[in-house]
Structure 1
């Protein structure tokens, strides 16, 4: 059983969303995965995960119809902690979802990462081991252990942190449709819509962001999933077209991740959600009650 090392009855974890500011997907590897090259960025849209350690019987509650099974990333994360530590953990979880599921914003990965951060602190697990656990749960999970701005390669688990990008904001458009990552990759394979990865692409896009070079950002914006998803889901393409018309001052309008969310990028605070740095996250990730 997890001891309540915080000396409090519960802890509330903030689980930020991410957008992919640039995303190139290469053809399928021999192991069935795809290499990617991407620029990750956390934004100030959060799920909230409330944990109650030391309960007699574990429970999971959610304000959506999310099931507690092996497909749930929190379930995977808890199972990985139990496997790695050899402990049977009894803990209550209440998840307040604000990040749409199946929207390409990484909500499930972020939730799992926040849970791993909690157990890393509670059990004093070394950083490298936590990263290994995060990679076992999902490709995007390691990024959320830190957040901010990162350039990622491999399946998304190979990360570099060249320095946080600030001074931007985004508006989000949420089509009423979920897109599974499995389907998105299958569409890329079926349509041969991959991009041969040049490692400089994501780095150059990051540099354009830092330089506030709007011309380069417009010209070099890329999401390999976008056209395949638009070809399958007309409603997502409609949201994209509508966002282009309604937000002509945006630097870029594009889909994030494997969809379905469309984001419009602005300099300054014109958008509803600002970029949030790893330093800001480190100060606000945990609150107690």
Structure 2
């Protein structure tokens, strides 16, 4: 079985308060995009995880795909598996790639071994692996709140728009990003702001991490400005950074280019 875990972008991200448990409450709109990894899962004589593509830091035994398998194994008698992940979505970019890998591992194991878990049950498992993992179970636009693991449907249809995502090879850890943030209630809730015409988003839809991180990483506001100068209707950093995206009504200009060391992806929403 081969699966293609996809990334997501945050359209607006307001960090509203610090929780008593040390996490933060936030609100954002999560929107799936087709920048994908590739995950193969096969029954095997012993459980094994390998990877290729972008180097994944840390011990392979702590990878979220393997943790997803171990989480299901607590409740189900599932045989050993061999998992291979080809990593293509940048790490530390705010695109949710690791969370997507974990969620797709859950979905793949559910299908492969006919566990008959519902989407709601899979989401509950996913929440144990990471705050935004549950989003990738149903993988459709949502308004996310609390820790980013509770969802409401949102009417947001961006089909026909084009997007480019640029990752400037800056790995921003979650700890660094949240360490610089000052939580505060949003003046205009994201759920309300995104219902306005996209032309108005520049003045109403904000990512709080931009204020926190742009002074430290000046290339990020430069990228955002470059996207607007190229004709983007809306541009923003996604998640806690460092990827920056631009949404265009028409084809993305061929003249728009970035240093060879940067990773980028473009496609339709």
Residue number among 179, 191, 207 corresponding to 1:186 in the alignment:
179
1:273 aligns with 2:267: yes
Matching of residues 244-259 of structure 1 within 5 Å: 244-245=228-229, 247=230, 249-259=231-241
Q: Secondary structure at the match of 2:236?
A: strand
Matching of residues 80-229 of structure 1 within 5 Å: 80-85=71-76, 87=77, 89-121=79-111, 122=113, 123-163=115-155, 165=157, 166-188=159-181, 192=182, 194-197=183-186, 201-208=189-196, 213-229=197-213
For structure 1, the 5+ residue unaligned runs are: 1-10, 276-289
Matching of residues 30-109 of structure 1 within 5 Å: 30-53=20-43, 55-63=44-52, 64-66=54-56, 67-70=59-62, 72-85=63-76, 87=77, 89-109=79-99
Question: Could you say which residue in structure 1 is the equivalent of 2:16?
Answer: 26
Deviations 1:77-105 (A, max 9, x none): 122112232x3641111111111011111
State TM-score, norm by structure 1: 0.80
Deviates more, 1:123-132 or 1:37-46: 123-132
Aligned residues: 251
Q: Would the aligned equivalents of 1:120 and 1:126 in 2 still touch at CA under 8 Å? A: no
Q: Would the aligned equivalents of 1:169 and 1:267 in 2 still touch at CA under 8 Å? A: yes
For 1:129 and 1:149, the matched residues in 2 are separated by: 19
1:41/1:183 Cα in 2 relative to 1: closer, same or farther (>3 Å)? same
For 1:17 and 1:117, the matched residues in 2 are separated by: 16
Cα offset for 1:267? 2.3
State TM-score, norm by structure 2: 0.86
Cα offset for 1:268? 4.7
Q: Secondary structure at the match of 1:253?
A: strand
Q: Would the aligned equivalents of 1:169 and 1:274 in 2 still touch at CA under 8 Å? A: yes
1:215/1:237 Cα in 2 relative to 1: closer, same or farther (>3 Å)? closer
For 1:178 and 1:261, the matched residues in 2 are separated by: 9
Cα offset for 1:127? 3.1
Cα offset for 1:132? 1.0
Q: Which runs of 4+ in 1 moved over 6 A?
A: none
Q: Which has the higher helix share?
A: 1
For structure 2, the 5+ residue unaligned runs are: 254-265
